[in-house]
A and B are shown apart, each in its own frame.
Chain A
């Protein structure tokens, strides 16, 4: 990768998302900090229900009904075109925006795209693939087939309405770009006529049609089989390089994250427990939860008779009664009685770009 100084794009600061349901308050995200850098990939891993998807939806200000962002900031360093005189930087606090307002709708899709876990149900069944792509394009008044460096043309195109034929050409070009075979035919296909992999490619084409500064990929390959998964990941990497896009890659698949991300955040029960560069995390995981996660994947070449794959003991805690102190302590193999169940761990630096929240690395 290029060694440009990393520039923050989205900064999540002490984010809290709470769901006020009848049985009590669920803290879906509980004081999360993370930074996504321009053009870089940040991986977010954790087991189901740990708040990964909620974080993603909080960035787009799309928290579903009983949920609320109760605390924290999401700073988005927006780069707007300044009437042909270069670019202006503008900081937007995403949590303060009206969730159905004009600004957030411009950002959604236009500047921060998102793709979802279930390609089977992510496309409106009554519209063709082409219609979907054109909708995204027309919502943001952009034509995506811009030439790099052609600033003037970009300005002209930015508010031009496209004709039906042009729109169709754009859709076909996008489908070709994400590697769909026979794009001229597929553009008129309805979602039920496409396979899962093709649908996910269409989703990617939609997200990329407006050349967003950031792509949130919420478990984009979980529902696909392994060979399709590799193709989708290749396409994402390729497109990331061509348009210098940041990716927030949410998954629970450690193998996928190792090949995609530069930096990884490990989440547990709405909190970040560890953050490190990808190589460091896989080589030298500090938090017992990360270590347990890594032990739970099979390794090639380590053949020992009779050895079972390790699993993390215990269950995820009841979200209404979170354990005191460190939330992981009831399941932790390194549990220190009297400490872990009393004191909340702090976000501590343990190395170059390596942070962990565990009492093992704190002086208490």
Chain B
């Protein structure tokens, strides 16, 4: 009992610094609620991981360069071994050398492992030279077989394509374009949608009419034909990278309408709040009222819409490229990879080319998990 009585006055005299905060700020409440949602945290972590591996450092993660072709054409995934033919256990995993055999009857290639050749697979091995972040010259790769010591060797975790390129390497590089197009496209959509939406809601009248009717007009045209029409308007002689950026702009051009409408609806209710009047009476101009006082009020909503809309951007890119209207070789995106795998012959002979699909699925799933979690978290008072 004496201990309890002693500790009580102490806690009153010296409250912990955290307890001095009277109430928590909005964002700390959001973070607190978001953290408790395991699925959303998982989605966020997956996305973070995929953006780091696919967008920032695919050169490092991939065992080969994007243009690294080999004699191993349409080879199935190589197996990693720990135990060799003699039954000896190796601590470091290794691959066997591969021998190509042509079956002249069926006109198909088969590969058999040559158990006499053992190539250890290591981490941080030397390979094709590249520049990390486009700046730092490097030649180390996350994993692989030392290409200087064993130039004959190859490790193909997901098989290879018709030019003998490592499919996993291609998936990594393809992810860069597909993920970035979703992000840039969404940023452009946000920009158009928010600016036009806030103007539409704030000014009303003619401005509102023009913007809303334009939105309706664009959304009345079926998406795929509109994409196709716009994409075919891009001249064929343009360099693939320019085509890529045009595609981004096209995707956001079609998508801004929905966001503009939602922002407009929110602005219509927010502009009647007294704080708008108060800011105006303090001398704030119309643009200040719109972008400093009204727009922040819509942010929690906009963030959720944006997160949930990025997957559709990625899918739209994939679909367009798959149709052959979007990104074209030599650029590699998940869409062009799917296009490679989209023939009956490919599915029969090289089914490992479908490895692209789980990556797309997982990314879309992660975005949806994150978006759902954000939607719940951004309304911290809702139960």
Contacts and interface: CB of A to CB of B under 8 A. Distances in A.
Interface of A: 60, 62, 65, 100, 105-110, 113-118, 121-126, 135-136, 139-140, 190, 192-193, 203, 206-207, 216
Contacts of B25: 190
B281 A124 contact: no
Interface string B248-281: 0000000000000000000000000111011111
B293 interface: yes
Contacts of A136: 282-283
B22 interface: yes
A113 B275 contact: no
Contacts of A109: 281-284
B26 interface: yes
Contacts of B296: 124, 126
Contacts of B329: none
Contact of A62 (B204, B277, B293): B277
Contact of A122 (B26, B274, B299): B274
27 contacts: A100-B285, A100-B286, A105-B283, A105-B284, A105-B285, A106-B283, A109-B283, A114-B282, A117-B274, A118-B274, A122-B278, A123-B275, A124-B275, A124-B296, A126-B296, A126-B297, A126-B299, A135-B284, A136-B282, A136-B283, A139-B284, A140-B283, A190-B26, A192-B23, A193-B22, A193-B23, A203-B278
Given A116-B274, A203-B278, A125 B283 contact: no
B253 to A, nearest CB: 30
B90 to A, nearest CB: 60
B378 to A, nearest CB: 13
Contact of B281 (A60, A106, A190): A60
Interface centre among B277, B286, B299 (most CB of A within 10 A): B277
Contacts of B285: 100, 105
Contacts of A122: 274-275, 277-278
Contact of A121 (B22, B274, B280, B281): B274
A312 B22 CA distance: 47
Given A65-B204, A193-B23, A123 B278 contact: yes
Nearest to B283: A109
A207 B282 CA distance: 7
Given A116-B278, A121-B274, A206-B278, 4 more contacts: A107-B283, A115-B278, A124-B293, A139-B282
Interface centre among B274, B282, B293, B299 (most CB of A within 10 A): B282
A211 to B, nearest CB: 13
Given A125-B297, A126-B297, A108 B278 contact: no
B283 A110 contact: yes
Given A65-B204, A105-B285, A125 B275 contact: yes
